[in-house]
Structures are given as C-alpha cells and as structure tokens.
Structure 1
Amino acid sequence: MLRLDDLEVLVQAAELGSLSAAAREMDITPAVASLAIKRLEAELKLRLLVRSTRSLRLTAEGAHYLVHAKTALNALRAGEAELNQQRQRIAGELTISMPSDVGRNLLLGWFDDFVADHPELRLRLRISDRLSDFYRQPVDLALRYGVPEDSSLVALPLLTDNHRLLCAAPAYLERHGAPATPADLSQHNCLRFVLGDRLHDRWRFGDQTVQVNGDRSSDDADCVRRWAVNGHGIAYKSALDIQADLAAGRLRALLPDWPTEATPLYLVCAHRLSLTPAVTALRSYLQQRLERYRAGKSALQP
C-alpha cells in the first residue's frame, strides 16, 4: 500500500536534487527520507533513484513514475483545498433531528428563515422524540433536551435555563380544580410521555417525586401538549414548548412555587469536526431566536 508521505519524499528529492534537502524541507531526518524511498521501490519493485553520498538522479522508470506521483499529490491537494473552501461557506446539506413539539411548532418556521438567508444550504429534518443514534443513522445534528448520556458526543448549549412546567387547560381546571400540592396529582388525570420503552410517570418537584396516572400516554410530545390544550388532563411540559399556549391563555401554569425539573436545550453532534461554519452559524441563529422568543417577542419576528 503506497503512502502519500513517501510520494512526497520522492517528489521533493527529485525537485531539490538531494534526499537530504528533501528531508530538511519536510522536517524529517535523512534516514526517514531514505526509508520512504526504499518502501516505494519495494512496493513498485522498481529502482526509482540512483543516489550516492553527493548526488542523486532519477532512473528512467523513476522519471516516468514521478509524473504520476506529482499528478496524484496535486489532485489530493486540490481536493483538500476545495473541501476547506466549502467548509468556510454556509453550504452543503445538514440532516437535523429535533423533538416533535418544539420542532413542529417553533423551530420549523425558524429553519425556513435560516435557509432563505443561506440559499446554498439544504436541510433534511427528522422530527421525532426518539433519541438519534449518530453512529447508525444519517444525522449530522440533533436538538435535544438534557445533556446526552453519551459523553463522547459534543453538546452545545442553546437554552440552559429551561425547565418543566405543570400545566392544564382552563376547561380542565373548571371541571376538576387545580392541585394545591404535587401529592394532589394522584387525584388528577395526568398526560404522560413515553420515550423509547420508558413511561415518564414519575414527576419530580425538587426533592419530591410523585407517581402519576392517567388515561393517555404518547411517544409524541406534541400529542401530549395538544391533549392538555384540549382539556384532557394535566401535563408536565418543557416551558419552551408551552410558552405560546400560556401567553394565549390556552394553558395555565400550576404549582408555580414548586421547583421543577431542568430541561436545558442542546445542539448535539458526534465530533468537533462536525462544527462547520454552517453549524456554527445555525447555533448562533437559534440562540438569538430563542433569546427573543423567551423575551416574549413574536416567534415569527426575525
């Protein structure tokens, strides 16, 4: 198997007329340079250079092969330069996974605006509450609540002070009243979320955990929110997911004096090398939009 650095030694030695000069140019020792030529000659089963302590010349075979070696190295350098140029542009394709609720009802419109500002970028959106597997699925980025359990992933904070809120529709509260303490939830119909095979039926309020029950559960967080808005029960939702519903009076926050679970929002990728200019620009854009939205400005206002 030919090594690219061995080809580089051959090209430098031929151009400079000296293996020692080639070694100095490449910041390697003459012994390493000599070994590179020996590997090439062994792999090709040809003599490429005739050399002594003071002189060096190409054999006929070496001169013929040098043309191809230069062509190969130039092509690779051109490919690397093109990739570097592309990496500096907000272009290409990004596959992004995001939660159902905030994805459909908030981020979808924001992504439309981002693509309109960067027409060379193409987005593929995967809206699902299932956690993405970066090693098995074609996903570049994921927006997720909570710090990933896999410490090898890169998690970039977008909204660190987000938390859950207990909420219900006015119609439900008129029929059943509001809980005065977390323990009162045992007397209410609680709308539960399923993630994977896990039913989230233990809701935390500070150091107190309450086992809840109800007649509905779903693996789609947006479905749980819609049930709550339609008056079917009490939900325990991310504040970001229900901000518009609270502002419009479709939902009311319950037990406001009780501490609730933190649900920070992160932009997650598999490796630092994934942080292209497009990803960096997208993160900055989302942070600005989230800041404006949390401040009470319109979700549609750029």
Structure 2
Amino acid sequence: MLRLDDVQIFVLAAEQGSFSNAARQLNIAPGLASSSVMRLEAALGARLFDRSTRSMQLSEEGERYLPHARAMLEAQRGGQQALASGHSALSGPLRLSAPSDLGRNVVLPWLDDFQQQHPGVSLQLRLSDRAADLLRQPLDVALRYGALSDSSLVALPLAEHNRRVLCASPEYLARHGRPAQVEDLKQHNCLRFIWGEQVHERWRFTLPEGERVVVVAGDRVSDDADAVRRWGVSGFGVVYKSRLDVIDDLRAGRLVELLPAEHCEPAPLNLICAHRSRLTPLVVRLREFLQARCTALLAEP
C-alpha cells in the first residue's frame, strides 16, 4: 500500500530538484527523504528519478507519475477541507496564477478582500503572461483568458461575455487621428504583448461583413501585458486588450474605445484547474467570489 507521506516527499523532491531541499522543507534528514522515495519506487515497481553522484532528475516514469502524485495529495487536502468546512472557516494554502495586468491591477485588491473574509487562507500568487502548466507546477488554479485548448483541464467561467477592446489615449488620437476602419490599423503604431511564446499581432474582429484578421505592427512589444496597457495610456499607440484590464482607464478617460464592443474578439475569463479533484470548498468559494466581482465590475456604468 502506498504511503501518502512518501508521495509528498516525491513531489517535493521533484519540485525542489533534490532530496536535501525536500527534507529541509519537511524538517527531516535527507537520508529519510531518499529512503522514502526508494520505498515508493519499490511499491510502484518503477524508477522515479535518474540519479548520479552529481545530479538527480525525474525519469520518464517519474514525469508520467508526477501529476497523479499531486492529484493524490490534492484529493487528501480537499477531503480534509471538505470535512473542516462543515464546522469551521475556510483555511489552508491557495496557489493561484494570473495574467500580469489583470492580476496586478484588478485581482490583487480583490484577493486582499477575500483573505480578510477568510483569514485562515494563505495566498501564493504568481503573475505571468505565460500559460501556467497546471499538471506540472504546484498550483491549485489559474486565471486564464480565452477558450480552453486542453480539454483535460476544468474551466469554471468567471466572465463569459468579456471581450477585447480596441482603444488608444486621447493624446495619441490627437496626434495621429482615429482609425476609420480596422484596415487603418496597419498605418498605426500598435502596441503588442507576448502570450506564451507568441507575439499577439493577429488582431481578430467580427465585422458586419464577417470575420477579419489584421496583422499589426509597432515599435513596442512586451511579455508583460501590464506594460503594454501603460504604454497605451501614455499615448504611445493603439492597444487591443481585455475590457476587464482597461475598464478603469476607459471610465477615467485615459483610453478611448475605437470600435463597438460586439465587433471585438471574445475574451472569456475562466478559473482553470487540472481536474475536478481540485474543486475544494476553498476553490469553489474563490470562484463564486471572483465571478461576483467580475460581474459587478463589468456592469458598472
């Protein structure tokens, strides 16, 4: 029979890259960590690490087993939280990944409020415009825009009808004029961001005459979408971003909407988790909280 403490040490060793680092986190001797993983390997009949005198890395079998090991630990944690939720407040770690602009400028203060409501929750927040690998990284959930490309993941809608917004600052429009049609974007300085490994430079629109894709260019691109929004507010060019990201700038007049909302690309926001075993009471409550906040923000005049 597998021991969950052996599985935990295996997962920590895989994440930390060594038995000694995993042992340090658990306050045990490195030899105990190594023996624990060897016991797990014997129980599974598989070699989980390729070891040498100088290095240690996951074997091919270890790579395949790691997401299942994490799922076992999450299922245990979820069961404990489910039992605890019947007679106590929500508590425990919440490991969340979010896009840079949305996370830093919109979600961050929301999470402050969430923790005030649930002081037993400890937050680990990662802000990045690279899509988090929920099967390999130690994360509970991730906020992600767009349709889900991996059907094995679970998507919980937060803002189903959110769309991108084509916009620029009043200062930029005063200097360069307003594009009369989407083809005019080829003559404008379009500020682009990198999502994953690709530059977002194929801007999609739904026009009365049908779908249209415009390949844009400009003198600035960043792997941080927050920087791109700030460039737009500062008057350096045209941006095409989620309404949730720029809604405060639009209402304050720092950015001006250039195209009707229904002509812009859908950008639904979802809360993503690796599988349904991670839908713990804490994650379910977080989803309800964030969905209510998104709805209220988009509904404000």
- The amino acid of 2:122's aligned partner reads R
Once residues 252 and 133 of structure 2 are traced to their aligned partners in structure 1, the CA distance between those partners, rounded to angstroms, is 36
Once residues 143 and 212 of structure 1 are traced to their aligned partners in structure 2, the CA distance between those partners, rounded to angstroms, is 27
Partner in structure 2 of residue 263 of structure 1: 267
Partner in structure 1 of residue 9 of structure 2: none
Once residues 171 and 80 of structure 1 are traced to their aligned partners in structure 2, the CA distance between those partners, rounded to angstroms, is 51
Partner in structure 2 of residue 48 of structure 1: none
Superposed CA deviations along residues 144-195 of structure 1, whole A, max 9, x for unmatched, are 1012211110000000000011000000000000000000011100001111
Q: Secondary structure at the match of 2:228?
A: helix
Once residues 78 and 148 of structure 2 are traced to their aligned partners in structure 1, the CA distance between those partners, rounded to angstroms, is 32
Alignment gaps of 5+ in structure 1:
3-78, 298-302
Partner in structure 2 of residue 204 of structure 1: 204
Match for residue 233 of structure 1 among 234, 237, 250: 237
Match for residue 247 of structure 2 among 243, 250, 256: 243
Residues 179 and 255 in structure 1, CA contact (< 8 A), matched pair in contact too? no
Partner in structure 2 of residue 110 of structure 1: 110
Shift in CA distance, 86/169, structure 1 to aligned 2, threshold 3 Å: same
Once residues 195 and 154 of structure 1 are traced to their aligned partners in structure 2, the CA distance between those partners, rounded to angstroms, is 21
Q: Secondary structure at the match of 1:183?
A: helix
CA positional deviation for 1:81? 8.0
Q: How does 1:59-138 map to 2 (within 5 A)?
A: 84-86=82-84, 88=86, 89-138=89-138
Once residues 196 and 133 of structure 1 are traced to their aligned partners in structure 2, the CA distance between those partners, rounded to angstroms, is 11
Q: Secondary structure at the match of 2:204?
A: strand
Partner in structure 1 of residue 299 of structure 2: 295
Residues 180 and 255 in structure 1, CA contact (< 8 A), matched pair in contact too? no
Q: How does 1:5-20 map to 2 (within 5 A)?
A: none
Find out whether 1:285 has 2:289 as its counterpart. Answer: yes
Residues 188 and 233 in structure 1, CA contact (< 8 A), matched pair in contact too? yes
Once residues 261 and 144 of structure 2 are traced to their aligned partners in structure 1, the CA distance between those partners, rounded to angstroms, is 26
- The amino acid of 1:187's aligned partner reads Q
TM-score by length of 2: 0.70
TM-score by length of 1: 0.70
CA positional deviation for 1:197? 2.1
Partner in structure 2 of residue 276 of structure 1: 280
Partner in structure 2 of residue 156 of structure 1: 156
Superposed CA deviations along residues 100-131 of structure 1, whole A, max 9, x for unmatched, are 11111111000001001101111100011110
CA positional deviation for 1:85? 2.1
Larger radius of gyration: 1
Once residues 291 and 201 of structure 1 are traced to their aligned partners in structure 2, the CA distance between those partners, rounded to angstroms, is 29
Residues 97 and 126 in structure 1, CA contact (< 8 A), matched pair in contact too? yes
Match for residue 214 of structure 1 among 215, 218, 237: 218
CA positional deviation for 1:289? 1.2
Partner in structure 2 of residue 66 of structure 1: none
Shift in CA distance, 257/117, structure 1 to aligned 2, threshold 3 Å: closer
Once residues 78 and 167 of structure 2 are traced to their aligned partners in structure 1, the CA distance between those partners, rounded to angstroms, is 53
Partner in structure 2 of residue 185 of structure 1: 185
Once residues 80 and 143 of structure 2 are traced to their aligned partners in structure 1, the CA distance between those partners, rounded to angstroms, is 29
- The amino acid of 1:163's aligned partner reads R
Q: How does 1:22-61 map to 2 (within 5 A)?
A: none
Once residues 247 and 120 of structure 2 are traced to their aligned partners in structure 1, the CA distance between those partners, rounded to angstroms, is 33
Residues 167 and 239 in structure 2, CA contact (< 8 A), matched pair in contact too? yes
Q: Which moved more, 1:240-249 or 1:258-267?
A: 258-267
- The amino acid of 1:196's aligned partner reads G
Once residues 166 and 112 of structure 2 are traced to their aligned partners in structure 1, the CA distance between those partners, rounded to angstroms, is 31
* More relative contact order, 1 or 2 (CA 8 Å, 6+ apart): 2
Q: Secondary structure at the match of 1:190?
A: coil
- The amino acid of 2:84's aligned partner reads Q
Residues 192 and 201 in structure 1, CA contact (< 8 A), matched pair in contact too? yes
Alignment gaps of 5+ in structure 2:
3-76
